Amino acid sequence: MPDRLASETYDSRPLLLLLHAFPMDRRMWQPQGVELCEVARVVAVDLPGFGESPPLLGPQRMDAWVDRLERFIARVSGSEPVVVCGLSMGGYVAQRLAARHPGRLRALVLADTRAAADNEAERKARDRAIALVREHGVPTLVDGLLPRLFSPQASPRIVAHARRLMDEQSPQGVMDALATMRDRHDSSACLATIDVPTLLLVGEADELTPVATAEAMVEAIPDGRLEVIPGAGHLSNMEAAAAFNLALGSFLERV
């Protein structure tokens, strides 16, 4: 008879997978990782080319990101479905995961994001951003982007922290992500097929993906609900962490 101890783990907390915004990494989720660990098993992920995750070789496409993420979920959760929360770029990835691998989801959280693909003007802006990073580096891109990510009332300390995270990202990873977002699928038609509880979170002062965008998305999702984070800009999880955590924690307790 094998010399081993049989065991069983009793833990009903959902596994919460956090997908970061552009151009950041998993460290942007520190306020959630600390506060939500009592209601969930929290795992924050570096998307390909960011933080400590290596880039994908060859042409960058959203489906390749999503399939790598699905394999990661299989390793950390086995057959157990997980709660996926994506903010901004992370929300694009989460929506595509829901379309390609719906059985992996226990619930979905889409924060400060949108379903529509880039229009022609936005695609050209991505191309200009790629050229800017190639010629001048990531900090120059951040110079123009950062003021649009927070409300005017945001804490200078939080804004400075976000700046440090962005400046540390590799130029190649940032350029790959810009191309991946430029070429991503339009997920608008997929919203109606999401069959798990879904929470939409959006900062009241979000300039990039405003409240009206979230309102249109939640109307299309069968089991969707919307929470507006008062006063917060695009990076609502950082700027208004307490309100964000309250909304997300309440949702996790329900699912």
Within-domain flag for 234: yes
Residue 13: pLDDT band (50, 70, 90) is confident
CATH of residue 136's domain is: 3.40.50.1820
Q: State percent of the chain over pLDDT 90.
A: 89
Within-domain flag for 72: yes
Torsion of CA 35, 41, 44, 48, to 10 degrees: -170
Task: Find out whether 13 and 140 touch, Cβ atoms under 8 Å.
Answer: no
Give which of 246, 197, 228, 252 is closest to 41, Cα–Cα.
252
Within-domain flag for 6: no
Within-domain flag for 139: yes
Within-domain flag for 121: yes
Q: Tell me, what's the pLDDT at 1?
A: 47
Question: What is the Cα–Cα distance from 163 to 20, expressed in whole angstroms?
Answer: 14
Strands 41-45, 224-229: pairing is unpaired
Task: Find out whether 186 and 220 touch, Cβ atoms under 8 Å.
Answer: no
Q: Tell me, what's the pLDDT at 7?
A: 47
At 194-207, the pLDDT tens digits run 999 999 999 999 99
Q: Is the pLDDT of residue 14 over 80?
A: yes
What's the number of domains the chain is made of? 1
Give which of 126, 134, 130, 93 is closest to 111, Cα–Cα.
93
Q: Is the pLDDT of residue 5 over 60?
A: yes
Within-domain flag for 227: yes
What pTM was computed for the model? 0.94
Q: Is the pLDDT of residue 186 over 60?
A: yes
> Residues, the chain, total?
255
∠ at Cα 141 (136, 146), nearest 5°?
150
Q: Tell me, what's the pLDDT at 56?
A: 86
Within-domain flag for 3: no
Within-domain flag for 63: yes
Measured between alpha carbons, how far is residue 249 from residues 43, 53, 71, 98, 185 in Å? 15, 27, 26, 21, 30
At 100-138, the pLDDT tens digits run 999 999 999 999 999 999 999 999 999 999 999 999 999
Question: What is the Cα–Cα distance from 16 to 83, expressed in whole angstroms?
Answer: 5
Chain mean pLDDT for the chain:
94
Rounded to an integer, the average pLDDT of 20-37 is: 95
Give the residue numbers spanning the domain of 107. Answer: 15-254
Give which of 24, 61, 46 is closest to 179, Cα–Cα.
61
Question: What is the Cα–Cα distance from 250 to 243, expressed in whole angstroms?
Answer: 11
Q: Tell me, what's the pLDDT at 57?
A: 74
Sheet hosting strand 41-45, strand order edge to edge: 41-45, 15-19, 82-87, 105-111, 198-203, 224-229
